[in-house]
Amino acid sequence: MLSQKRHGLLVGALIAVVCSSCCQAFAGSHNRWGPTMPNNLSKLKSSATDADTKDTANTVNGDDENKVTTADILSLDSIRSTLIRQEETIIFAIIERSQYRRNSIVYKSGGFGDMGTPFGSDPCPEGSDKNLSFLEYMLIGTEVLHCGVRRYTSPEEHAFFPERLSGANKALPTLDFPSDLLSNAGGASSINFNPILLKKYIENIVPMISNDGDDEQHGSTVLADITVLQALSRRVHYGKFVAESKYLSDPEGYQKLVDAGDAEGVMALLTNAVVEAKVLRRARMKAATYGREPLILPEIEGVDQSEDTGLVAAAAASAVVATIEAMKAHTEGKVDPAVIEALYKDFIIPLTKDIEVAYLFRRCGRDPPPEYAPDRMSIEFL
């Protein structure tokens, strides 16, 4: 028998899980290029009045319900929905990397000697590839393959070594994206902060998420590294979509700050502290949930765990345990939730906002200040 206190805790968690499921269950998880539409957009559109329906009867195919405009895609709700989904991608990728030791040799220039030129890549601008690290060799080769199948034609994808890539396979059709997703003014849409991302990943993030030492799993390590790097790159460069959306909501305000060279003012205007706090709490909770084995409840009198009720009760109990664990300063598991929260607080969010500032300056016709260059962070990541 469960004690009354534990039973109450379990019931409370069960109610929370069921209520949450009613609101969010089976949310779309399709991988798409570009920000994703909020799940309730089609419902909102379908609630239009009969008069509205008649007014739009002459739209393409006579059906406006499924029409998605650039304004829809660039809405902050749409972008935030995409960013929330990316949290799982990042956390699971970090969990995969954390199972290996640090394996520092894979990041060392020439650590495995002269590995030659990655297959299919353009020649090295410096004239030689003999000092490539194992990670660089694998990352360039991966990007060559992905470039060939059009990955980097997407406005949300950014290569770490664009100078080594030739282009997409000509046998594949060209992918068309809305031309007004991002602005090309001043080269704003082409901003790429992967140089500082790669540097900080090796110097700061890898020590945060892995134990010291070498387990000889070097190939698996760099493959896991590449998955993390690509997920982080996609996440921070979504700052350009956020910046464009915020600019469109107040173009005069941002133009005035940029004309005055007020980078701090731009940063203050685009910052939403309430949303950032929610991101940190959510990331920590997800890390606590995904970073531990599911709780298997003992037999409980009157509860048949082979039925839905038992499964939901077990899920609710696991959620309670994850919540408790997330509140601890440090916890055991596949990944420490405090580390994930710190990663978002000290790196992902600040770098995303640096990209937003750089984009907005270029969007408004000026070069960003030096501290917002793609080879550094405006706030040092310790």
Q: Cβ(45)–Cβ(21) under 8 Å?
A: no
Structure tokens at 223: 């493959």
Coil vs helix vs strand at 36:
coil
Q: Which residue has the tokens 């199972």?
A: 99
- In this predicted model, what pLDDT tens digit does every residue of 312-323 receive, in sequence order? 656 666 666 656
- On average, the pLDDT of the chain sits at 80
Decide which of 57 and 342 is more confident.
342
pLDDT(311) > 90: no
Q: Mark residue 36 as left, alpha or beta (left: phi above 0; alpha: psi -120 to 50; beta: remaining).
A: beta
From residue 322, give the alpha-carbon distance in Å to each of 24, 136, 275, 291.
19, 37, 22, 9
- Give the residue from 102, 81, 94, 80 showing the smallest Cα distance to 343: 94
Alpha carbon distance, N-terminus to C-terminus of the chain: 49
- In this predicted model, what pLDDT tens digit does every residue of 134-148 receive, in sequence order? 999 999 999 999 999
> Catalytic site residues?
80, 235, 246, 272, 276, 352, 356
pLDDT(20) > 80: no
- The dihedral built from the CA positions of residue 374, 376, 379 and 382, taken in this order, carries a sign that is positive
Residue 326: pLDDT band with limits 50, 70, 90: low
pLDDT(89) > 50: yes
Query: Which whole number is the average pLDDT over 237-262?
Result: 96
Q: Which amino acid is at 151?
A: R
DSSP H helical segments within the chain, as ranges?
Answer: 4-24, 41-46, 50-55, 70-73, 76-98, 134-148, 194-200, 206-209, 218-237, 239-249, 251-259, 263-270, 273-290, 308-327, 337-343, 349-363
pLDDT(81) > 70: yes
Query: What does the alpha-carbon distance between residue 92 and residue 147 come to, in Å, rounded to a whole number?
Result: 24
pLDDT(190) > 70: yes
Query: What does the alpha-carbon distance between residue 81 and residue 373 come to, in Å, rounded to a whole number?
Result: 28
* Radius of gyration, CA atoms only, the chain: 24
Sequence-ordered list of residues with C-beta below 8 angstroms from that of 49, at least 6 positions apart, any chain: none
Residue count of the chain: 382
- In this predicted model, what pLDDT tens digit does every residue of 93-129 receive, in sequence order? 999 999 999 999 999 999 999 898 899 998 887 767 7
Q: What are φ and ψ of residue 25, in 5° steps? A: -60, 145
